[in-house]
């Protein structure tokens, strides 16, 4: 591995190869979302191609193509910058591709982005000889590809010629540089195929979903510190997308690729945000929508249901996590048993399905408490509009408040802290912080997801947009 610092590019590269490595471990709750392409890279490609049309930009997505395609492209790359997108779920495969890329002299620079390298910039810069982008990658990559000196590029971390770690000031954020990022027919077709394969045994309401983003950041995390297990990047801000751009993208996806459902990956849709989307809603039929929101917001603002209905929302994703109010308060969730039940009933009355996320292995949890949560899930499922129950084992993720409590201990156990996996974190957590065993939790996880998987298949007739 090279040990010298990163130097400014002498000649501009002809090509940008953006990689989204496949997950390191398929987690039990690995959801259908993995059939959809990495939206961060689609945003980057859309922006950069609109500004620098001469450069050839290619995305390789580990959800859609296999390792041999990655190896072929990396080994044959010439005059190329490689950008790799990483979060905790694919960091080891990311490092595998970094090491392979270092063998090819035609690769001018390796740039890492995504939340995980942003949380460990010095480790990734020093150990893997890369440049790390912290936060959104649009402007940093644009400046890099158009020859700006690295020292003047905001939002990047690197080693200078003397081997000193340099962290430039944060870069400005926006999601409205362009109205929407284009998709390729080939990637949409591959995604559709994967989605249909993954969903054949589960209840799906639609056939051709696509991810879009209505906002970045979570207002609860930014204002109040958020839930204790939730990971955040170093310079997080709440950024709302211009609703007109949001609708342009919806129209584009529906008209060009027949997308019958739009899944908003904005982390926490709140009432006023949904109202502003509704204000700009086009006339006529629109595709189905899936939003991530909180039961507490629905409970406190029952009018939110009408807004969801008018947005043609067919499903919401709710982070319920537990059936125990004390645990919910300990992990700093806002919802409680009562608000969760009431919110799901309101959704049911409006004909909106809910998928619920449950977390087990919470601090000090014992078998009785776990049973309490299982009973609660049963009670929720009886309401009749639960589409799926997704259960995960509580994980102290890097970047979350709970991680800072265990960081020193983790560091003494794992020399390469930046390569830690979700499974390792769970195995570390469970015997120390719960009164349960890992195999008990895995069994309950499987039971919860399968017991409450409804038997019948639900489908809804896809809509097409009524524009023009
Ligand atoms: C959608 C999503 C998913 C989807 C992924 C679908 C897909 N194909 O990508 C699904 C549902 C599958 C998923 C699964 C998981 N996820 Co997830 N997911 C998200 C979510 C909500 C949105 C990501 C997104 O699309 N954002 C929109 C794009 C436009 O923004 P972006 O990704 O941030 O990209 C920008 C920058 O980061 C940067 N950038 C990104 N890549 C690159 C690359 C380069 C080279 C550069 C320069 C810049 C750059 O520029 C981009 C454009 O501005 C994020 C939360 C979040 N807000 O990011 C969590 C998040 C990424 N997930 C997280 C986790 C923990 C998981 C799971 C491990 C959860 C679990 N326990 O099961 C699993 C992994 C499952 C597995 N391995 O089997 C964590 C990661 C934490 C961490 N420290 O790494 C996050 C941050 C949630 C959180 N706050 O805790 N997830
Ligand atoms: S879990 Fe959801 S509500 Fe809680 S801080 Fe994270 S994004 Fe916000």
Residue 158: left if φ>0, alpha if ψ -120 to 50, beta else—which one?
beta
Pocket test for ligand 2, best of 267, 291, 297, 359 (most atoms within 8 A of CB): 267
Q: What is residue 460's predicted lDDT score, i.e. its pLDDT?
A: 54
Q: Which residues line ligand 2 (CB under 6 A)?
A: 218, 220-221, 226-227, 230, 267-268, 294, 319
Question: Which ranges constitute the DSSP H helices of 147-229?
Answer: 185-198, 219-224
Give pLDDT, residue 63.
87
Distance from residue 248's CA to the centre of ligand 2 (Å): 27
Q: Which ligand is nearest to the CA of 400?
A: 1
Place of tokens 């009562």: 338
Residue of 268, 294, 317 best suited for mutating to test ligand 2, as the one with most atoms within 8 Å of CB: 268
Nearest 5°: phi and psi at 158?
Answer: -160, 175
- Write the residue with the smallest CA distance to atom 67 of ligand 1: 89
Distance 384 CA to ligand 2 centre (A): 25
- What is the 225 CA–ligand 2 centroid distance (Å)? 9
Q: Closest ligand to 209 CA?
A: 1
Going by pLDDT thresholds of 50, 70 and 90, the confidence category of residue 227 is very high
Q: Which residues line ligand 1 (CB under 6 A)?
A: 23, 26-27, 29-31, 33-34, 36-40, 43-44, 63, 83-85, 87-89, 111, 113-116, 119, 133, 136-138, 141, 213, 230-231, 265, 267, 392, 395, 397-399, 422
> Which residues, 6+ apart, have CB-to-CB distance to 398 below 8 Å?
88, 116, 119, 120, 231, 417, 420
Residue 6, token pair as written in the block:
């990163």
- Find out whether 298 and 323 touch, Cβ atoms under 8 Å: no
**pLDDT confidence of residue 6:** 79
Tell whether the model's pLDDT for residue 206 goes beyond 80: yes
Strand 107-113 relative to strand 131-133: parallel, antiparallel, unpaired? Answer: parallel
Please give the pLDDT value at position 468: 32
Q: What are phi and psi of 221, to 5 degrees?
A: -70, -40
Tell me which DSSP letter residue 462 carries: P
Going from the C-alpha of 67 to that of each of 40, 64, 198, the distances in angstroms are: 20, 10, 19
pLDDT band at 198 (very low <50, low <70, confident <90, very high): confident
**241-265, pLDDT tens digit by residue?**
999 999 999 999 999 999 999 999 9
Query: Separation of 88 CA from ligand 1 center, angstroms?
Result: 9
Kindly list the structural domains of the chain, giving each domain's residue range(s) and its CATH number in brackets, ordered by start.
15-167 (3.40.50.280), 201-394+434-451 (3.80.30.20)
pLDDT tens-place string over residues 20-56: 999 998 776 555 667 889 999 999 999 999 999 999 9
d(CA 454, CA 382): 11
**Which of 47, 63, 115 most suits a substitution to test ligand 1, by most atoms within 8 Å of the C-beta?**
115
**Average pLDDT of the residues in 66-71:** 96
pTM: 0.95
């Amino acid at each position: 591995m090279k040990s010298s610092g990163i130097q400014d590019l002498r000649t501009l590269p002809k090509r940008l190869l953006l990689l989204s490595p496949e997950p390191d471990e398929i987690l039990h709750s690995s959801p259908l979302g993995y059939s959809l392409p990495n939206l961060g890279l689609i945003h980057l490609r859309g922006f950069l191609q609109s500004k620098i049309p001469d450069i050839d930009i290619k995305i390789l997505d580990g959800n859609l193509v296999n390792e041999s395609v990655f190896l072929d492209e990396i080994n044959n790359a010439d005059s190329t910058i490689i950008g790799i997108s990483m979060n905790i779920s694919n960091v080891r495969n990311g490092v595998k591709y970094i090491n392979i890329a270092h063998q090819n002299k035609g690769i001018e620079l390796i740039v890492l982005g995504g939340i995980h390298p942003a949380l460990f910039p010095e480790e990734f810069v020093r150990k893997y000889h890369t440049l790390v982008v912290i936060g959104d990658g649009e402007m940093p990559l644009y400046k890099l590809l158009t020859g700006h000196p690295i020292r003047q590029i905001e939002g990047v971390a690197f080693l200078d010629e003397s081997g000193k770690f340099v962290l430039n000031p944060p870069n400005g954020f926006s999601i409205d540089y362009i109205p929407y990022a284009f998709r390729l027919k080939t990637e949409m077709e591959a995604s559709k195929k994967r989605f249909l394969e993954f969903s054949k045994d589960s209840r799906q309401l639609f056939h051709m979903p696509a991810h879009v983003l209505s906002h970045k950041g979570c207002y609860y995390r930014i204002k109040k510190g958020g839930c204790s297990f939730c990971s955040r990047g170093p310079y997080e801000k709440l950024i709302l997308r211009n609703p007109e751009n949001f609708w342009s993208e919806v129209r584009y996806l529906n008209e060009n690729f027949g997308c019958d459902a739009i899944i908003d990956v904005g982390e926490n849709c709140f009432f006023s945000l949904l109202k502003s989307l509704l204000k700009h809603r086009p006339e006529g039929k629109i595709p189905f929508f899936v939003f991530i929101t909180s039961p507490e917001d629905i409970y406190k603002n029952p009018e939110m249901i009408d807004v969801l209905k008018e947005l043609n929302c067919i499903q919401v994703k709710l982070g319920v996590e537990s059936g125990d109010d004390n645990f919910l308060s300990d992990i700093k969730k806002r919802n409680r048993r009562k608000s969760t039940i009431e919110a799901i009933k309101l959704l049911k009355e409006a004909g909106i399905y809910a998928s619920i996320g449950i977390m087990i292995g919470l601090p000090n949890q014992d078998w009785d408490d776990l049973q309490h949560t299982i009973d609660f899930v049963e009670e929720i499922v009886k309401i009749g509009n639960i589409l799926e129950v997704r259960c995960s084992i509580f994980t102290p993720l890097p970047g979350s408040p709970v991680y800072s409590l265990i960081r020193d201990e983790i560091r003494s156990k794992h020399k390469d802290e930046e390569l830690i996996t979700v499974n390792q974190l769970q195995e570390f957590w469970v015997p120390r912080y719960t009164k349960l065993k890992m195999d008990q939790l895995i069994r309950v996880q499987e039971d919860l997801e399968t017991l409450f998987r409804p038997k019948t298949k639900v489908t809804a007739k896809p809509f097409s947009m009524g524009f023009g």
